[in-house]
Every structure is written in C-alpha cells, then in structure tokens.
Chains A and B, each alone.
Chain A
C-alpha cells in the first residue's frame, strides 16, 4: 500500500521517454510548464462561474444603479438619461421622508433583531438537550422560515387588522381595548417586528444549534466536574464558543433588516403600504425606494436611495467590526 503514496516527482514523465526522442528536454519543460499553469490557474477556472454570474447579476446592476443615480431617469422614458451629477443624492438627503425611513429602518431593525437572536439562542440551547423526537422539533422550528414573505405578511396583516383582527379580538375579549395597530407609530413597528421575529427566529436557532453541537463535550464535562450549573455552563462555555456564530447572525440580520420590504409593504397594502402608512410611520428605506421609483416614477432618486442604503450598511459593518475587535481585545 505504501507504494501508492504520491511522491514529489510523481508527475514526472517515465524515465525511459527522454532517450527515445531528441526533442525530449524541450517537451519536458513545456509539459511541466503546462502542469504548473494548470496547478495555478485551474482553481480560478473552478470558481469563475460564481464570479461570472455575480458580475452579470450583482456587480453590473450595482454599478449601473450608481450610474442611474447620477442621472435624471423617468419611469416613462428609461432610454432618456440626463446627467444631473449629485442632484439626486442632494434631493433625498434633504427629504424629511428619507430620514423618517432611516429612523424607521433602524428602529425596526433593533426591535426585530435583538429579541429574535435572544430567543433563538434560548431555543437552540433547549433543542441541544436530549429530547424525544428532536428532529421533529427542529423541523417545526424552521417552518416559519420556509413560508414566503408575502404569505406570512398577509396572515399577520389579518392578525393585526384594526377591525375584526385576531389580536384585537383577543385583546377585547380580555378587556384590554382596541388598538389600530398599523396606524400607530410604535404599534406598527411592533407589528412588523413580530412578523420578522416569527420568520427568522427558527433560522437563527438552527445556526446556533449547529454551532452548539460543535462545542466539544469535554468542556461541559470539565465544567460540570467543577460544579458549574446549567446556567453557568451556558454562560461560560456555550456563549464564548458561539461568539463567531453570534457575530455572523448579527451581520446577516442587520443586512436583512436593512432590506426589509415585503412586511411593511403588505401590512396594510395598497396605497398606504406603498408609502409606509399614512404618516410614513412604518416606511423603511426599501419601501421609500420603491415608492420613489415605481409610484412617483423617478428612478434617479430611487437609485440614489439604493446607494445610500449600501453606504449605511458599510458604516454599520465598520461599527460592527470595531465593536467586535474591542470585545475580542477586552476578552483576552
């Protein structure tokens, strides 16, 4: 069996070959050059499909959106582009509705991400115990993630409906009165956060669970030998081991909440949905973008909003990275 182990010169041509043809040394170098080229280049060829597709459907639209953001482009005549420079950015930055949308996006982001990740962490911890029918529970917990945004939002729109909604019905039944959820500034944000939490908690639970199962059992064994309680084990062993995973889920959730669109659009639907409520009380940046481009028909400012969203994401990512570095340093 030991003969099958590759040696450094395993790819060299058989020793007898060079004697047969006089041009052999030349072919030898040409061949080895080809080998070397193959060695170095083919990994790039293997990953190329992704980058080609990304270039066509990711990078090109991204850059073209930036190009549109510097022009006046109307929905009614997309082939007529008129250079306006930074005017579109100037327009949206001086629009109070834009800042309302930024605030809303941020608030809904925090209100949905924080409880979502905490609940996911707890659920993952519970699912990590030995349970009967554990596969069943794990599947069930992921089902909300498998529903489409539209159907989830529409069902919750019925729950939160002011008149004859399930939630109001229940609240009135126990004597807590009647709330027009979508109309209120805070209640509408709570409603949207609930939809997001419901959809994404299971997904994050599963990611945490996978990470928890990768934590070596010896650590827990050692901890329990030292007399650590379950809670202490969770805090001192599980959480530190999960730190990279937690950071990952925070990043993913932040990106997701920045792009929040279907839930606010469909909470009330129609004209109100497209403007994020009658006082823009739940208008997120994506809804603002959609309204500017598709309802008002101006694609230039809409493209500028898209780039502003990217800029905001980069800022958040930078802050996240700084905090992460600070936490790592202080942990050492």
Chain B
C-alpha cells in the first residue's frame, strides 16, 4: 500500500510540474506574439478603392497635421495608412533588407538625410524617378541634389530641413550677467563658434550654481561640421574625416568645451538630457527647427517664456537633419503614391506640418505662406522663427554627403560625450572614435 501511494503522489507532483510549465510557456507565447505587418494590406478592392501605405520613422508630422485625412477627403478612393518606426536606426536596416528582398516595402518610404547618399549610390534603381513629377527648383538649392543620382534621376522629394539657430535660456543669461536680447546675443557670437565658447567662459564666471553653458559639446561639433561644405567625405566619395578641416575644428572646440567644463555632458535625447531641460540647468542648445519643439516639450510649462532663439554663430548656417519621401518601384500603385508624395511635399502641406510639429519646410514656396512667414513661438518669447529659420536656410552651404555620414557622426558624438562625462583625454577619445569609424567605412 505504501509504495503505491508514493508512486501516485509522485506522478501527481510531476503532473503539477508539467501543468505549471505549460501555463508558463503559454504565457510566454502570448507575450511574444505581437508582430504585425501592415504593408501587406496594400491592394485595391472591387470599387477601385486603394490603400496607400507610408512607412516612416520618428515624427513626420502628417498625422499631427491631419494631412492623411485631408488627402482622403480630396481623393475619396484613396486611404493612406502610416507605419511608423520610432527609431530610425531600427527603421533603416529593415528598409535595406526589404529593398534587398524586394518584399514588404510600403508604397512610400521615408529616408533620412544621413542615409540618402548610401541609397542614391546603391539602391537608386529600386525607386521611381520623381524628376518628371516634381519641380526640383522649388526646393532650397541643395536639398534635391542630395537625392539626385549621377544620371539625373530624383529618387526622393524633400520633406523638412534643419537650419540651425541658437536657443538660449534668458533667465539664466540674466542671472549670469549676459545680454538677453536676441540681437545682442547674435552680435556676441557673430564671429563663429570660438566666440560662442568665449561667451561660455563669460557665462561660467557668474553662472548660477549647478547650471552649464551648453547641454553637450556633441551638438556644437555637429553644428560646426555641418556649416561647412566639406565634412566627412570628399567629392570623389573618399572618406577624409581624419584630415577634414571642419571635423578638426569641431573636435578641437568640443575638446576645449569639455576641458573648460562649459558643458553638462548630457548625451542628447537621453533621459538625463531631458531631465536637464526640465530642471533648467542648461543655458544654450544648438537648435535646429525641430529641436525647438524638443526643448519646449521637455522643459515643460514651468519654463515657458524663459527661452529665446537667435541666429547661430558664424556666417554660414548649419543644417541638421531632414528627410525625403521616396516611392519604391515595386509597389502596386506607383503613380498614386507619386501623386501623394508630390502633394505631401508641396508648400501648403509643408507649412501645415511646420505649424503642427515645427519641422521646417524644405520647399521654398512655403516660406512666403503666412503659416511660416509670420510664425512666432510663444514658448520662446514669441521668437519670429519663420524669419530666423528662412534666413538660416539661405546661408546653408551645399554640402558633400557620404554614405556613412550618420554612423560617423554618432560615433564621434559618443566619444565627445566620453570626454565630457568620463574626462577621457582627447587623444584617447579620438582613437576610439577612429576605431569605430574606420570599421564603418571599411
């Protein structure tokens, strides 16, 4: 009797264990099964109604501006669906894989400026030529050249650009005994980024405790490099970042800012950076149009009216960011998708996006529209951003892009953060940066 009971007891226990295991794996399975692919929905039904998909990343602002709904009103037979990937670094490899395999592509794909050169060089044949449909002269002179192949095909229509100005915290400037007026601040830094650092030293002398002149020197580095025509590559497509004067200038200035402790050393867009803006410890931020939006979101209502915007240091303006919309050839509705792209990048729609989320238009026609021309930002003491950014946009040089610009910029930025945060010596940091960059180019 005793033996039988033991055996029965043990098998019951085993059964319980098995059940537990099964329950757990069922939970596991449900936890992992949330992968949907909306791009397969493309198609038309019997009534000729079609659905166009737009795959993009981050914030393109079309939904916020209500443009997809508006397009549906104008074209009742077309519904537009957006498939957003929040991180561009996740989006881009996926796009390359889809281009390689030729499946899973949306009707319209967004491409970031840091990637456009690589796409133009290697994947241009997969995209429809837009040169017949859009007039490239409508855009700021350099924008569409970036999306044009050697044979003259235009594979992307420009959405936004990022002319760079300078955002500054007037309250901190006042406490540090610096001028707060837009014009006066612009005057102080008119000579270039060296003047900007001098202003930083002035700020530091009387700085309110726990505050820093800038958020991160990596933004300054980026601004210095991208206000020059030659950046990381030369015209022949050779990587020259080690000898590029603009990179050297930017790096030296960043190293100086780090050693003089003019920066708080917050990697941009990270949580500590957002916290810095919220707590009001940052006096200046190199500020493309879309960055103004980031500042107002992260600084919050408590800091409303404390910020202002003025012209960035130096004679030539920098461009930071901006994207393109492209139409893959393999789509089922290439013509309709091309029309959609043309409409979305037309002046009125770009102005609507600017109004909604602050991405600055690349289509020059938008600059004369009241939504852009008279735009003022209440959060930034009613700074006339439409004017400021339109002026900056005119002085942005025609830059030489390279296929790995994005990776190079990110790798150098990481090492600038290390100089700021860890006190890594400039030599060690540069060595670490070149190690990664050479791997990327290689």
Q: Known contacts being A97-B435, A139-B23, A271-B89, is A217 close to B275, with CB within 8 Å? A: no
Q: How far is the CB of A186 from the nearest CB of chain B, in Å?
A: 14
Assess the B435–A79 pair: CB atoms within 8 A: no
Q: How far is the CB of A96 from the nearest CB of chain B, in Å?
A: 7
Assess the A138–B17 pair: CB atoms within 8 A: yes
How many angstroms from the CA of A49 to the CA of B415 in the assembled complex? Answer: 51
Q: What are the residues of chain A within 8 A of B442 when measuring CB–CB? A: 91, 298
Q: What are the residues of chain B within 8 A of A275 when measuring CB–CB? A: 414, 436
How many angstroms from the CA of A95 to the CA of B269 in the assembled complex? Answer: 29
The verdict on A78 contacting chain B, using a C-beta distance below 8 Å, is yes
Assess the A164–B271 pair: CB atoms within 8 A: yes
Assess the B93–A75 pair: CB atoms within 8 A: yes
Assess the B440–A272 pair: CB atoms within 8 A: no
How many angstroms from the CA of A295 to the CA of B92 in the assembled complex? Answer: 9
Assess the B407–A296 pair: CB atoms within 8 A: yes
Q: How far is the CB of A127 from the nearest CB of chain B, in Å?
A: 10
Stretch at the interface among B25-33, B142-150, B249-257: B25-33
The verdict on A48 contacting chain B, using a C-beta distance below 8 Å, is no
B: number of interface residues (CB 8 Å): 47
Stretch at the interface among B153-161, B362-370, B417-425: B417-425
Chain A interface size, as a band, is: 35 or more
The verdict on B20 contacting chain A, using a C-beta distance below 8 Å, is yes
Q: What are the residues of chain B within 8 A of A78 when measuring CB–CB? A: 100
Assess the B16–A135 pair: CB atoms within 8 A: yes
Describe A's contact surface by its main secondary structure.
Answer: helix
Q: What are the residues of chain A within 8 A of B121 when measuring CB–CB? A: 76
The verdict on A206 contacting chain B, using a C-beta distance below 8 Å, is yes
Q: What are the residues of chain B within 8 A of A143 when measuring CB–CB? A: 24, 27
Assess the B20–A295 pair: CB atoms within 8 A: no
The verdict on B339 contacting chain A, using a C-beta distance below 8 Å, is no
Q: How far is the CB of B26 from the nearest CB of chain A, in Å?
A: 8
The verdict on B236 contacting chain A, using a C-beta distance below 8 Å, is no
Assess the B270–A270 pair: CB atoms within 8 A: yes
Assess the B14–A274 pair: CB atoms within 8 A: no
How many angstroms from the CA of A164 to the CA of B271 in the assembled complex? Answer: 9
Q: What are the residues of chain A within 8 A of B415 when measuring CB–CB? A: 278
Q: What sequence of 0s and 1s flags, for each residue 138-167 of chain A, a beta carbon within 8 Å of any chain B beta carbon?
A: 110011011110010000000001111000
The residue on B at minimum CB distance from A277 is B414
Q: What are the residues of chain A within 8 A of B13 when measuring CB–CB? A: 213
Interface centre among A135, A143, A217, A278 (most CB of B within 10 A): A278
Assess the B407–A295 pair: CB atoms within 8 A: yes
How many angstroms from the CA of A19 to the CA of B56 in the assembled complex? Answer: 81
Q: What sequence of 0s and 1s flags, for each residue 102-119 of chain B, a beta carbon within 8 Å of any chain A beta carbon?
A: 000000000000000010
5 A–B pairs (Cβ distance < 8 Å), ordered by A: A143-B24, A145-B28, A206-B20, A271-B414, A296-B439
Extra pairs beyond A183-B421, A272-B270 (7, CB < 8 Å) = A76-B123, A96-B435, A142-B20, A147-B31, A272-B267, A278-B415, A278-B417
